[in-house]
Structure 1
């Protein structure tokens, strides 16, 4: 599972260095497929401005219980999706999740970077949006890269305990019990 986390980080960094589809004259090209159109609309409905995007998934994986229990990054992402978006992660165990990348302005995670932008990953199953997460973009030494952390698209981390109705450690125990049972 550590290899999948490492692969995700490497792919994110490579795409960040290369940049996403779009242009520098302030106009976003019209998406050529229905899924990308839905994803752009989803982000715009969250009051985010899409600066660029990729129409093909940059990463796909089959979600496992191990991902939800042991892979720190996926565990936190799916915990946030459950709390902020009402996603039941168990619906996606054993399913292939496709990850699509967007660069946006207007997400609160940008405050932790220095470009006023965030890299957003939207997770999809069978061309339907599950939800996503944002990572602040930073610029340094001639290139842009993604900063630390995966922030929920649909809420603020400081609201997690209030939304969950329990402390984070209590929710973590609940999560472990929920996904440890066969």
Structure 2
């Protein structure tokens, strides 16, 4: 009987260890993710981890007039029209030494055709707080020279299909 209990415990602990190892698998990285990490490191952010592809989509003018895409793209320093019709891949990283927060920050790096061009950031595990920040931790009001209402009106006039 003791042998059966010992074997059963061994089997259960082996299964639990295997399940734990599966959960901790590191996402596969490619040259795009490496370029994204290099961009973050060039900004002197300490990269703690690469969390994989968070989202991908083809950018359309329609998306540019919908939340949250309108806000995400308003935080970029590039002209969104240069990316309409292109696939956008968003890689998630967890970093430190970021101006948005003293601790960890989630940074979402935007890439197209393998080249990172911008991104967004949010305090670690606080995405539901409702804020939008650029890759460097700036708000829309800090980036755009207009009030939000003026910016939104001009944005909608430019990008409404």
- Coarse TM-score class (shorter-chain normalised): 0.7 to 0.9
- The 3 A distance-change label for structure 1 pair 158 and 108 is farther
CA contact (8 A) 1:101 1:119 kept: yes
Structure 1 residues without counterparts, runs of 5 or longer: 1-17, 23-30, 139-144
The equivalent residue for 1:174 is: 154
CA contact (8 A) 2:98 2:136 kept: no
| CA shift for structure 1 position 108 | 3.1
Which structure has the greater CA radius of gyration? 2
Q: Which of 34, 38, 41 lines up with 2:35 in the alignment?
A: 38
Cα distance in 2 for partners of 1:171, 1:151 equals 16
The equivalent residue for 1:80 is: 75
Q: Which of 102, 115, 120 lines up with 1:128 in the alignment?
A: 115
User: What SS does structure 1 have at the residue aligned with 2:75?
Assistant: helix
The equivalent residue for 2:59 is: 63
CA contact (8 A) 2:109 2:135 kept: no
| Deviating 4+ runs (over 4 angstroms) | none
Worse-matched range after superposition: 127-136 or 33-42: 33-42
Where do residues 89-100 of structure 1 align in structure 2 (5 Å cutoff)? 89-100=80-91
- The 3 A distance-change label for structure 1 pair 41 and 174 is same
TM value normalised by structure 2: 0.73
- The 3 A distance-change label for structure 1 pair 157 and 20 is farther
- For the pair 1:107 / 2:98, whether they are aligned, the reply is yes
- The 3 A distance-change label for structure 1 pair 119 and 21 is farther
Q: Which of 118, 131, 144 lines up with 2:105 in the alignment?
A: 118
Q: Which of 35, 38, 47 lines up with 2:44 in the alignment?
A: 47
- The 3 A distance-change label for structure 1 pair 173 and 127 is same
User: What SS does structure 2 have at the residue aligned with 1:109?
Assistant: coil
- The 3 A distance-change label for structure 1 pair 121 and 19 is farther
Cα distance in 2 for partners of 1:47, 1:159 equals 24
Where do residues 157-168 of structure 1 align in structure 2 (5 Å cutoff)? 157=139, 160=142, 163-168=143-148
